[in-house]
């Protein structure tokens, strides 16, 4: 580390860093440098690198020896640019100390403003600004923030003191307090510090500065930050940078302000400046939601029906400057920006810019429009959308026909609708979710301590805070519906109630929130499936142009098949026929079939099932018109269908002409110790060929019928489950082929079909070369393959898998993302060996992994032909497949 550069300066139209240096400078520092380089008005400062953070933790929380001198030099540089000197009692430079990791972590790390103030410098600031109120207001803010962040004194103490003071004086708003009021309060605040800390509030600016820098590094390891990193897969090793920046003041009266703005609407994607600001305030006021902010544009103000003036009207010059700058930033970064700014006596200063978080809906619209505007290419647009985020668009909304009993209205903070029981705290939300209940988390406002509750809840409702409050920002990121700032609601945490006027609801009562319009509704309101926007179709079209993998769906019911087609599925990759037998009218003959003592009994029960099964397939083939449909023969252990109650047993016994006692005996025979590895899959077809024959007949007769009716060819793919080698496969295949011959003869129709197998046992991967001699396709059943390769039963994994992933023994849950090193290796072997005997063998995957973006990437890499996933995940898989293809192109070019 000798000779390492620990500090990078910025300001006055130049910087030592730039936007590409996020790893070293953190996102905030890199972009402050970039904005300086662009010549934008950025208060000068410097960034202490993330390497110092790493050093700090590697060396018992100490700083590199030469850091102090480097920081002093950087502060001297700031003095040159500002004409003020840090620590100078007569002409003090005040700074902010701001954290900034590589990835933005909203609200996770704390910022200290107005650092450098003390009993002496506060007077100098008052004199220099000619505004004693401003000076003392800044000082009290500094003591509060510094005490909270650095000295670990609960800010509640200061708030209490302030509230008491206001009450005694009959004052309501902070803005009503005079210089003398704040001066008095500063005295009280210092008393609080002395009492809580046992020593005085630090007066030495150098001590203040190093205390704050250390606190920023320490906060990297606080519980909230750790939790956030865990939820967002951010490694602890990245560390955070610290930015020290000269202060600009939004609290210098009516010509000063602070605000947050997005270059496009982060909720809808609309191409219009969007944001909020507060006059005579400092940054933390906006985020904390203590005062309700004002709109930036006049249009937004009118739309919201607000009675407070917009920035456009109240500060036209600063507004024009903001518009100029946002145009520059968006063109430069070629993406929607989230900007923080402060106006000091009419002059606008930029304090932050970054790519803005947005809803999936906004992400689509923005990506498509940026491409149409020529700022990015179509492929870049495809790469801009996180496949998993599409889930948000597939969220339900409120049925327009449903009655809306509106309890109250708040801000439409994050779109989509959700219904659930009211809970008032995050631990309860988490517990309820575990118990299988749906909840809406209701809070006055949320803080990073609520992340787990927000995760567990269907939706979030707050009574305070604007569109950029913690609740709103985090909910949008999570894709959860959120209504914020519903100010008419009174929450009583102690009683567990919320009330609006005369209406009182208690914990456990149902409410529905509509985050798209900000409504809070009584009861559980009916939802409807989402409608997809034009941009969705356009972007999917671009994705389809670049991807190689085809995407099919796992579907049995006509409804699922239709959904799958609507979402662009190119066939059915897995039709689980057993799912078709659980219906009321099916389970009866199914039970007869299973429990029949002989061939004859089985055949007569199967004869009842045949027409129903045939009709199922006719509907599927008709919906999927001309697209491939893979049908898997009966797979699960038979005992899953057994009758349980005495009444059920009696019915089956009567139908079979046996006693209940005999039936119970037969059922007991079917008991298995480990059904997952028991009498299931092709083992059923081998023991009871008549089952496979009935299913094959139903498939072929349906194919003939549907082809005739639709005029489109039907090419069924019959799939034999759970083979361990070629003998099983050939045996079952010969029965299927014979049935195809029979149906051809009987109907006189042409019949094309394929017979293939599901590869879901390690042995089948190893024997793939032989199996492929007769099998015309492989579908990797990665659910079972994961269970059998890892020897982990998915249903029993809950008790230990979490600790495995937490400790890094497994990189991620192997049932969600394919275990590349193990299961992936087996798939590769299966692919290679299968292709040896049949180069054009059709290869697919049909486990849950087919809808997981990372696993789709793997399938692309190993050259499968298609993935098959649940209908709602089809768009996700299409996009993930496109990104995998683009990634490959990029890797080749780079």
Catalytic residue numbers, as ranges: 470, 846
Q: Applying CB under 5 A, does 148 fall inside the site for Mg ion?
A: no
Task: Give the span between the Cα atoms of 165 and 163, in whole angstroms.
Answer: 5
Task: Give the span between the Cα atoms of 166 and 768, in whole angstroms.
Answer: 79
**Strand pairing of 527-528 and 497-500?**
unpaired
Q: Applying CB under 6 A, does 25 fall inside the site for ligand ADP?
A: no
Q: Applying CB under 5 A, does 352 fall inside the site for Mg ion?
A: yes
* Residues 423-462, mask of contacts with ligand ADP (x by CB under 6 A): ----------------------------------------
* DSSP assignments along 656-708, one per residue: HT--HHHHHHHHHHT--S-GGGSS-THHHHHH-HHHHHHHHHHHHHHHHHHHH
Task: Give the span between the Cα atoms of 198 and 202, in whole angstroms.
Answer: 12
Q: Applying CB under 6 A, does 138 fall inside the site for ligand ADP?
A: no
* Residues 207-246, mask of contacts with ligand ADP (x by CB under 6 A): --------------------------------------x-
Q: Applying CB under 5 A, does 468 fall inside the site for Mg ion?
A: no
Q: Applying CB under 6 A, does 113 fall inside the site for ligand ADP?
A: yes
CB of 430 to ligand ADP, least distance (A): 25
Length of the chain: 894
Task: Give the span between the Cα atoms of 665 and 589, in whole angstroms.
Answer: 19
Q: Give residues with Cβ within 8 angstroms of 564, minimum separation 6.
A: 552, 553, 555, 572, 871, 874
Q: Give residues with Cβ within 8 angstroms of 297, minimum separation 6.
A: 272, 273, 274, 310, 311, 312
CB of 340 to ligand ADP, least distance (A): 3
The candidate with the shortest Cα–Cα distance to 410, out of 478, 462, 471, 474, is: 462
The listed partner (Mg ion, ligand ADP, none) that binds 298, CB under 5 to 8 Å by sort, is none
Q: Which is nearer to ligand ADP, 275 or 844 (CB)?
A: 275
Tell me which of 43, 415, 681, 871 binds ligand ADP, using CB under 6 A.
43
The listed partner (Mg ion, ligand ADP, none) that binds 498, CB under 5 to 8 Å by sort, is none
Q: Count of residues binding ligand ADP (CB under 6 A)?
A: 16
Q: Applying CB under 6 A, does 342 fall inside the site for ligand ADP?
A: yes
* 872 touches 390 (CB < 8 A): no
Q: Which is nearer to ligand ADP, 163 or 449 (CB)?
A: 449
CB of 254 to ligand ADP, least distance (A): 17
The listed partner (ligand ADP, Mg ion, none) that binds 247, CB under 5 to 8 Å by sort, is ligand ADP
Encoding tokens for residue 523?
């009861």
Q: Applying CB under 6 A, does 484 fall inside the site for ligand ADP?
A: no
The candidate with the shortest Cα–Cα distance to 759, out of 732, 734, 788, is: 788
User: Contact region for ligand ADP (CB under 6 A) — 105-113, 298-306, 714-722, 788-796?
Assistant: 105-113
The listed partner (ligand ADP, Mg ion, none) that binds 245, CB under 5 to 8 Å by sort, is ligand ADP
The listed partner (Mg ion, ligand ADP, none) that binds 248, CB under 5 to 8 Å by sort, is ligand ADP
Q: Applying CB under 6 A, does 96 fall inside the site for ligand ADP?
A: yes
Task: Give the span between the Cα atoms of 259 and 250, in whole angstroms.
Answer: 9
End-to-end CA distance of the chain: 30
- In angstroms, the Cα distances linking 443 to 453, 486, 507 are 11, 10, 12
CB of 413 to ligand ADP, least distance (A): 18
Task: Give the span between the Cα atoms of 4 and 650, in whole angstroms.
Answer: 82
User: Contact region for ligand ADP (CB under 6 A) — 75-83, 106-114, 357-365, 857-865?
Assistant: 106-114
Tell me which of 283, 515, 637, 762 binds ligand ADP, using CB under 6 A.
283
Kindly provide the residue ranges of all beta strands, DSSP E only, lying in 721-865, ordered along the sequence.
754-759, 777-780, 842-845
Task: Give the span between the Cα atoms of 232 and 246, in whole angstroms.
Answer: 32
Encoding tokens for residue 263?
């270059």
The listed partner (ligand ADP, Mg ion, none) that binds 251, CB under 5 to 8 Å by sort, is none
Tell me which of 98, 470, 552, 838 binds ligand ADP, using CB under 6 A.
98
Task: Give the span between the Cα atoms of 517 and 723, in whole angstroms.
Answer: 53
CB of 53 to ligand ADP, least distance (A): 15
Q: Which is nearer to ligand ADP, 135 or 569 (CB)?
A: 135
Q: Which is nearer to ligand ADP, 98 or 464 (CB)?
A: 98
Tell me which of 147, 352, 426, 613 binds ligand ADP, using CB under 6 A.
352
- In angstroms, the Cα distances linking 573 to 29, 758, 843, 851 are 48, 11, 11, 12
Encoding tokens for residue 29?
């520092």
Q: Count of residues binding Mg ion (CB under 5 A)?
A: 3
Task: Give the span between the Cα atoms of 148 and 111, in whole angstroms.
Answer: 10
Locate all alpha helices (DSSP H) within 373-405, ordered by sequence: 378-384
The listed partner (Mg ion, ligand ADP, none) that binds 717, CB under 5 to 8 Å by sort, is none
CB of 370 to ligand ADP, least distance (A): 25
Angle between helices 132-149 and 121-129 (to 10 degrees): 140
Q: Which is nearer to ligand ADP, 246 or 519 (CB)?
A: 246
Q: Which is nearer to Mg ion, 28 or 464 (CB)?
A: 28
Task: Give the span between the Cα atoms of 216 and 28, in whole angstroms.
Answer: 14
Q: Applying CB under 6 A, does 111 fall inside the site for ligand ADP?
A: yes
Q: Which is nearer to ligand ADP, 94 or 859 (CB)?
A: 94
Tell me which of 131, 276, 321, 340 binds ligand ADP, using CB under 6 A.
340
> In which residue are the tokens 């009935």 written?
694
CB of 189 to Mg ion, least distance (A): 20
The listed partner (Mg ion, ligand ADP, none) that binds 512, CB under 5 to 8 Å by sort, is none
* Residues 91-130, mask of contacts with Mg ion (x by CB under 5 A): --------------------x-------------------
- Closest CB to ligand ADP belongs to which residue? 283
Pick left, alpha or beta for residue 436 (phi over 0 → left; psi -120 to 50 → alpha; otherwise beta). left
Considering only residues 239-258, where is the footprint of ligand ADP by CB under 6 A? Answer: 245, 247-248, 258
Considering only residues 311-340, where is the footprint of Mg ion by CB under 5 A? Answer: 340
Half-sphere exposure of 153 (CA within 13 A, CB side): 22
* Residues 359-398, mask of contacts with ligand ADP (x by CB under 6 A): ----------------------------------------
- Closest CB to Mg ion belongs to which residue? 352
Q: Which is nearer to ligand ADP, 149 or 743 (CB)?
A: 149
| Residue 681 main-chain phi, psi, to 5 deg | 60, -145
**Strand pairing of 459-462 and 527-528?**
unpaired
Q: Which is nearer to ligand ADP, 248 or 549 (CB)?
A: 248
| Residue 407 main-chain phi, psi, to 5 deg | -80, -45
Q: Which is nearer to Mg ion, 342 or 519 (CB)?
A: 342
What is the 3-class SS of 228-265, one letter each residue?
HHHHHCCCHHHCEEEEEEECCCCCCCCCCEEEEEECCC
The listed partner (Mg ion, ligand ADP, none) that binds 789, CB under 5 to 8 Å by sort, is none
Q: Give residues with Cβ within 8 angstroms of 840, minimum separation 6.
A: none
CB of 352 to ligand ADP, least distance (A): 5
Q: Applying CB under 6 A, does 353 fall inside the site for ligand ADP?
A: no
Binding site for Mg ion (CB under 5 A): 111, 340, 352
Write out the residues near ligand ADP by the rule CB under 6 A: 43, 96, 98, 107, 111, 113, 245, 247-248, 258, 283-284, 340, 342, 351-352
């Amino acid at each position: 580390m000798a000779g390492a550069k620990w500090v990078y300066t910025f300001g006055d139209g130049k910087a030592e860093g730039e936007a590409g240096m996020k790893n070293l400078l953190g996102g905030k520092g890199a972009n402050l440098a970039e904005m300086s380089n662009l010549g934008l008005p950025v208060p000068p400062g410097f960034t202490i690198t993330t390497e110092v953070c790493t050093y700090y933790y590697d060396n018992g929380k100490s700083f590199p020896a030469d850091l102090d001198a480097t920081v002093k030099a950087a502060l001297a540089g700031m003095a040159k640019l500002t004409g003020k000197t840090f620590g100078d009692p007569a002409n003090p430079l005040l700074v902010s100390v701001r954290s900034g990791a590589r990835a933005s972590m909203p609200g996770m790390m704390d910022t200290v403003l107005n650092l450098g103030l003390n009993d002496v410098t506060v007077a100098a600031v008052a004199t220099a600004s000619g505004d004693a109120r401003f000076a003392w207001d800044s000082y009290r803010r500094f003591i509060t923030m510094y005490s909270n962040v650095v000295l670990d004194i609960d800010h509640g103490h200061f708030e209490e003191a302030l509230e008491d003071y206001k009450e005694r004086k009959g004052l309501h708003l902070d803005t009503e307090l005079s210089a003398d009021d704040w001066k008095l309060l500063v005295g009280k605040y210092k008393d609080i510090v002395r009492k809580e800390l046992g020593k005085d509030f630090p007066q030495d600016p150098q001590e203040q500065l190093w205390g704050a820098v250390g606190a920023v590094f320490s906060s990297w390891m606080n519980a909230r930050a750790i939790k956030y990193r865990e939820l967002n897969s951010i490694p602890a090793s990245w560390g955070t940078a610290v930015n020290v920046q000269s202060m600009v003041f939004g609290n210098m009266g009516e010509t000063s302000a602070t605000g947050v703005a997005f270059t496009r609407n982060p909720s809808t994607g609309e191409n219009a400046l969007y944001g909020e600001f507060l006059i005579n305030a400092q940054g933390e006021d906006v985020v904390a939601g203590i005062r309700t902010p004002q709109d930036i544009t006049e249009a937004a103000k009118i739309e919201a029906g607000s009675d407070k003036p917009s920035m456009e009207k109240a500060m036209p010059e600063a507004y024009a400057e903001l518009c100029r700058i946002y145009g520059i930033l968006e063109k430069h970064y070629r993406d929607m920006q989230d900007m923080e700014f402060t106006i000091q006596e009419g002059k606008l200063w930029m304090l932050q810019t970054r790519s803005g978080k947005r809803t999936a809906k906004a992400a689509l619209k923005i990506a498509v429009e940026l491409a149409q505007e020529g700022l990015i290419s179509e492929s870049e647009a495809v790469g801009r959308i996180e496949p998993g985020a599409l889930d948000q668009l597939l969220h339900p909304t409120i049925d327009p026909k449903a009655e809306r009993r509106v309890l109250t209205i708040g801000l439409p903070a994050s779109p989509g609708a959700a219904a659930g029981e009211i809970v008032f705290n995050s631990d309860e939300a988490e517990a309820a979710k575990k118990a299988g209940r749906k909840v809406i988390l209701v809070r006055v406002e949320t803080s990073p301590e609520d992340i787990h509750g927000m995760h567990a809840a269907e939706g979030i409702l707050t009574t305070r805070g604007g569109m950029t409050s913690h609740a709103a920002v985090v909910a949008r990121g999570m894709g959860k519906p959120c209504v914020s700032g519903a100010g008419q609601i009174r929450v009583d945490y102690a009683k567990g109630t919320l009330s609006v006027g005369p209406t009182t609801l208690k914990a456990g009562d149902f409410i529905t929130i509509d985050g798209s319009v900000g409504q809070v509704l009584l009861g559980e309101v009916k939802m409807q499936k989402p409608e997809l926007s034009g941009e969705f179709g356009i972007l999917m079209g671009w994705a389809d142009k670049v991807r190689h993998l085809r995407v099919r769906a796992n579907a049995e019911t006509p409804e699922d098949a239709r959904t799958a087609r609507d979402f662009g599925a190119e066939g059915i990759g897995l039709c689980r026929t057993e799912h078709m037998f659980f219906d009321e009218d099916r389970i009866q003959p199914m039970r007869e079939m299973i429990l029949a003592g002989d061939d004859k009994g089985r055949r007569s029960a199967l004869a009842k099932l045949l027409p129903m099964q045939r009709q199922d397939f006719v509907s599927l083939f008709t919906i999927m018109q001309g697209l491939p449909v893979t049908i898997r023969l009966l797979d699960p252990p038979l005992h899953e269908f057994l009758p349980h109650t005495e009444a059920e047993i009696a019915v089956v016994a009567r139908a079979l002409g046996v006693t209940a006692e005999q039936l119970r005996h037969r059922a007991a025979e079917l008991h298995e110790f480990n059904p997952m590895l028991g009498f299931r899959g092709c083992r059923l077809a081998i023991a009871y060929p008549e089952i496979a024959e009935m299913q094959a007949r139903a498939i072929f007769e349906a194919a003939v019928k549907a082809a005739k009716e639709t005029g489109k060819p039907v090419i069924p793919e019959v799939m034999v489950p759970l083979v361990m080698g070629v003998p099983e496969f050939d045996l079952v295949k010969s029965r299927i082929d014979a049935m195809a011959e029979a149906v051809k003869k009987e109907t006189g129709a042409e019949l094309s079909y394929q017979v293939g197998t599901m590869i879901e046992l390690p042995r089948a991967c190893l024997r793939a070369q032989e199996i492929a001699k007769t099998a015309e396709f492989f579908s990797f059943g990665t659910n079972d393959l994961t269970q059998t390769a890892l020897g982990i039963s998915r249903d029993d994994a809950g008790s230990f898998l979490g600790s495995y992933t937490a400790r890094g023994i497994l990189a991620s849950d192997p049932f969600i993302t394919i275990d590349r090193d193990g299961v992936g290796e087996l798939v590769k072997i299966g692919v290679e060996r299968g292709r040896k005997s049949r180069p054009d063998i059709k290869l697919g995957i049909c486990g849950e992994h087919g809808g997981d973006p990372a696993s789709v990437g793997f399938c692309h890499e190993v050259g499968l032909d298609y993935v098959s996933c649940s209908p709602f995940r089809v768009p996700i898989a299409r996009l993930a497949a496109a990104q995998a293809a683009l990634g490959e192109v990029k890797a080749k070019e780079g």
